[in-house]
Amino acid sequence: MYDEGTAMTADRVTAETTEEVPVAANTTDSDTPSEPRPPVDLTTATGTAAAVQHGSISPEQALDAALERIRARDRKLSAFSLVREEAARAEARAVAERQDLDMLPLAGVPIAVKNNIDVSGEVTRGGSLSGSEVPADSDHPVVRRLRAAGAVVVGLTSVPEFGLWGVTDGPGSITRSPWNTRYSSGGSSGGSGAAVGSGMVPIAHGNDGLGSVRIPAACCGVVGLKPGRGLVPSEVGVDSWGGMTENGVLATTVADTALMLSVLADRPDLADLETPPTLRIGLATAAPTPLTHIDLAWTAAADKAAAAASQAGHIIGVAELPYQGATFALALRWLGNAAREAATVPHPERLQRRTRTHVALGRAVLKSGLLRPSQVDRVEARLLDYFERYDVVITPTLATAAPRARRWHSRPWLANVLANVKFSPFTPLWNLVGWPALSIPMGIHPRNGTPVAAQIAGPPGSESTILRLAAQIEAAHPWQRLAP
C-alpha cells in the first residue's frame, strides 16, 4: 500500500477518460507547500514516461493503474490472452531501481505485446493450440528494445490462429471493438487494438502481414503504423511471411506512435515530429478491385485527411493507385505462407477448421510453382512510377466496418475469406512490396458508431514523412482518443 498523504493511490491514477490526473503538491519538512507538480496523463506513453521520469509517480503506480483498467474493462473485450500481473510487478520494480530512469524514453510505461512473438517465460501461442507449450527462454529483439527503454510488459494480447485472419477470435474468446462491442476489433493484432482503444494500456505492439496493425487500429479508433521492410527487427513466424510481416505500433496519438517506433527501430530521430516540407500527396479512394464496395463514410475519411493536408499547405492530386496484379500475388502468398507456418507446428491436427482448409490450399500453391518474385517486381515497378509524382498517398484504411463479433473460427473457410477481403482491400498492397503505411482515425461512422480512418503510405524510408504529415492532420482534426 502507498502512503495516502504523499503518493497517488491506484484508484486515483485509474481515473477514467482522457483527462489529466492531478498529483498532490510536494511539501517540505515544515509542511510549507512548494510549487505543485504538473498533472499526470496516464492515457499516453509520453505522459506516463514524463511522470515517471520526473518522479510524479512510480513505475509500480503506473502498472497498478493499468492493471485496474484491465480488470475493469477486459471482461467485455477479451483483448488479453494473458495478464502478467506478478511478472510485470517485478519488472516495474526493476525499472524503478534503474540509475538511468530519467533518460528512458518509455520509463515505466505499461505495454501490451501481441502473443505471436517471444516474451521470456511465456508460451508463444500465436492464437493456436497446435504449437509447443514450452515457454520462451529469451525475448524477441523488439521486446528487448522495449524493456531496455523502460517499458513494462503488462500482458500478451489475443491473436487469431497464425495471425491469418482480419478478425480476432478463437475457442473461448471473441475480441471486440471498444466503440461498439457488436463488432470485431479487427485482426490479427485485434487484441492490441482493443487494449489501446479502450485505454487499458497507452501503447501496444502489433505486427502486420496483410494489414494486421492498420486494420485493428482503424476498427478501434487508434493510430497504427506498419514500418517499411528492414527498419524494425521482424522475425515473426516462418521467414516473416516471406518478408511481408513487420513489427509495428498501436497508440492513441501520433507522438506516442513516433516515440515507440524510435525505440523499436533504435532510431531516436524518428520521434521528432517537426513540420514536413511541402508534400505532393496522391488521393486514391477507388476500389482496388471491381468487386469491392466502399462505404461512403470510409471514402469521406480519406477525403477529410486530404483536406487537412491541403489546409496545411500540401499539394493534393487525385490519382488512383496501380493495383494491377497485386490481388493475385497477395492471394498466393496468403495461402503459401500459412502452409509454411503449419509445417513447423508439432500438433497440426489441432488446427482450426478454417486454417486447415487454408493450409491445404497453400500446399497446393507451393507445389504449383505459382509463387514468383517477378509478380512483386512488376507491382513495385508500377508503384515506383506513381511515386515519381507523389511523396505519399492517402487512401481509406478499410472499405467497410469490421465484421460482426462472432465465432468466425468455427465458420467455413470461404465465409472467413469473403469477410476479410470485403472489408480490408486497401492494406495488403504495402505488405507485398514492404513499404511503410499508417492508419489514422478520422471520425465515427454515422450509423454504427465505430471509427473510420484514413491510410497514409509512402515509398521505402518515408516513415518520418508519414508520421509528420499524420501529426499535422491530428492537429487539424484531433480525435476522441479513447472509446466512451
Tell me if residue 114 is catalytic: yes
100-103, long-range: CB < 8 A, 24+ apart = 101/52, 101/53, 101/150, 102/53, 102/54, 103/53
Length of the chain: 484
Q: Which three cell numbers stand for residue 86?
A: 506478478
Give backbone dihedrals phi and psi of 323, rounded to 5 degrees, phi first. -85, -5
The dihedral built from the CA positions of residue 89, 90, 93 and 98, taken in this order, carries a sign that is negative
Of 188, 189, 198, 234, the active-site residue reads: 188
- Nearest alpha-carbon partner for 179 in 378, 372, 366, 448: 448
Is-contact 243 207, C-beta < 8 A?
A: no
Q: Following CA atoms 141, 435, 477, 44 in sequence, which dihedral angle do they give, to the nearest 10 degrees?
A: 0
Amino acid 480 reads Q
List Cα–Cα distances, 143 to 133, 247, 314, 383, in angstroms. 20, 11, 37, 33
Contacts of 448 (CB under 8 A, 6+ apart): 180, 182, 183, 401
DSSP 94: H
Is-contact 150 105, C-beta < 8 A?
A: yes
Amino acid 93 reads R
List Cα–Cα distances, 101 to 23, 60, 134, 163, 182, in angstroms. 20, 13, 33, 35, 42
Contacts of 16 (CB under 8 A, 6+ apart): none
List Cα–Cα distances, 376 to 327, 330, 430, 433, in angstroms. 11, 9, 11, 7
Tell me if residue 173 is catalytic: no
Tell me if residue 212 is catalytic: yes
Strand partners, 451: 444
**Residue 425 CA to its chain's centroid (Å):** 18
What does DSSP say about strands 223-226 and 437-444: parallel, antiparallel, or unpaired?
Answer: antiparallel
Is-contact 403 178, C-beta < 8 A?
A: no
Is-contact 315 278, C-beta < 8 A?
A: yes
Q: Which three cell numbers stand for residue 461?
A: 524510408
Of 81, 177, 185, 212, the active-site residue reads: 212
Q: Which three cell numbers stand for residue 430?
A: 504495402
Of 78, 114, 198, 464, the active-site residue reads: 114
Give backbone dihedrals phi and psi of 289, rounded to 5 degrees, phi first. -135, 155
DSSP 438: E
Known catalytic residues are: 114, 188, 212
